[in-house]
Amino acid sequence: MAELADAELDEAAVTSLGVGAGLLAADTAYVYMPTEPLRSLGPILAWAHRAGARQLHLFIDEPDAAARLSLRAAQLDPSPAIWLVEGRTATPAQPVASAVSPEFAIPDAGDDVADLIALLTSHGLVVNTEHGVITGELHGLEVARVLDDELGVGLAVGVGRFDREAGAMLRGDRTDDEALAEAVAQVKNIRAADGPAAHPLNRLVRERWLRATVVADPDLVGLVTADAIAAPKPPADLLEANPASAIGVDAAETNVLVVCGLGSNLDMVSTAADHVATLASAGVPVARVVIAVPVGDALPITEALAGYLRLPATVVEVPAPWPR
């Protein structure tokens, strides 16, 4: 990598970015990202865009993260340069696609697991498999998951880990069917367009709720069909704001990637870049990208970042399914 000229260093401005530090010299930005690099690309792109940078260099300590970011960078124009830092040297990172299937396919399973999947479906839940975990969702919110471990096959009912653990202790002699029916009824009564706006259940994983709405009615984003796909990485918890994505087909029978998020989430374009590369490696070429946000959330920075994708990308507003 070429050294910064003395004149450039004299004019350089160093900025603390929370996730790292940025150096802006003329029209080039240099950013060191020591923590959460996979979640930091979007905010860094936004900072560089607002600063007027025409070139972006990212320095990463973690080999896996550098490889994954290099994969995403190849889907952007201009493409940020991703450097792997080892000691006092930096070398260009080599892109590596994820080994995780991008689709929400339900795996072949034994009869016990299949019976539990059927039970989830019978209660009106959408069954998904994401990063090896089979869940039943209502409006994008996990209500139950199938456990298949050294203790055997079973059903854990509840919203989030603590609710599942508390539910298991208080379950008593209720059957899976009874416990699930009670949980679904409670969530359905609250997580709805006419539910209490301030209730926590209506504020969790809204990105997934928006995606569930698009999957149920693909015409909202101009598609004929839409199916949910797994996030690039498993979410840490229900409070983590992660874009939720789907792959669909339009009237011209071309594949369209839909990334759902809230307007304040700067990671939607980075997530789209990851999906485009991963889907291509799985033999599903994407022709264009739709960034779906609630009505009123099409922020100028979201529009600007969408323009960095190599593929044609549009920002589409979708009526929010939650109470306002």
Number of CB atoms found within 10 A of residue 147's CB:
16
- The whole-number average pLDDT for the span 5-24 is 67
CATH node for 200-318: 3.40.1350
Q: What is the 3-state secondary structure (H, E, C) of the chain?
A: CCCCCHHHHHHCEEEECCCCEEEEECCEEEEEECCCHHHCHHHHHHHHHHHCCCEEEEEECCHHHHHHHHHHHCCECCCCEEEEEECCEEEECCCCCCCCCCECCCCCCCHHHHHHHHHHHHCCCEEEEECCEEEEEECCEEEEEEEEECCEEEEEECCCHHHHHHHHHHCCCCCHHHHHHHHHHHHHHHCCCCCCCCCHHHCCCHHHHHHHHHHHCHHHHCCCEEEEECCCCCCCCCCCCCCEEEEEECCCCCEEEEEECCCCCCCHHHHHHHHHHHHHHCCCCCCEEEEEEECCCCCHHHHHHHCCECCCEEEEEECCCCCC
Instruction: Tell me the β-bridge partners of 229.
Output: 103, 245
Q: Are 210 and 140 in contact (CB under 8 A)?
A: yes
Structure confidence at residue 10 (pLDDT): 45
Mean confidence (pLDDT) of the chain? 88
Compute the CA torsion angle 5, 9, 15, 20 (nearest 10 deg): 50
Q: Are 259 and 272 in contact (CB under 8 A)?
A: yes
- The whole-number average pLDDT for the span 89-117 is 73
Name the band, by pLDDT with cuts 50, 70 and 90, for residue 36: confident
Interval 170-193: pLDDT, tens: 666 788 899 999 999 999 999 999
Q: Looking at 45-54, 170-179, 228-237, which range is the least confident one?
A: 170-179
pLDDT reading at 56 higher than 60 = yes
First and final CA of the chain: distance in angstroms?
51
- The whole-number average pLDDT for the span 71-90 is 94
For residue 146, give both structure tokens: 């199938």
Q: Looking at 14-28, 50-64, 127-141, 275-289, which range is the least confident one?
A: 14-28
Q: Are 237 and 160 in contact (CB under 8 A)?
A: yes
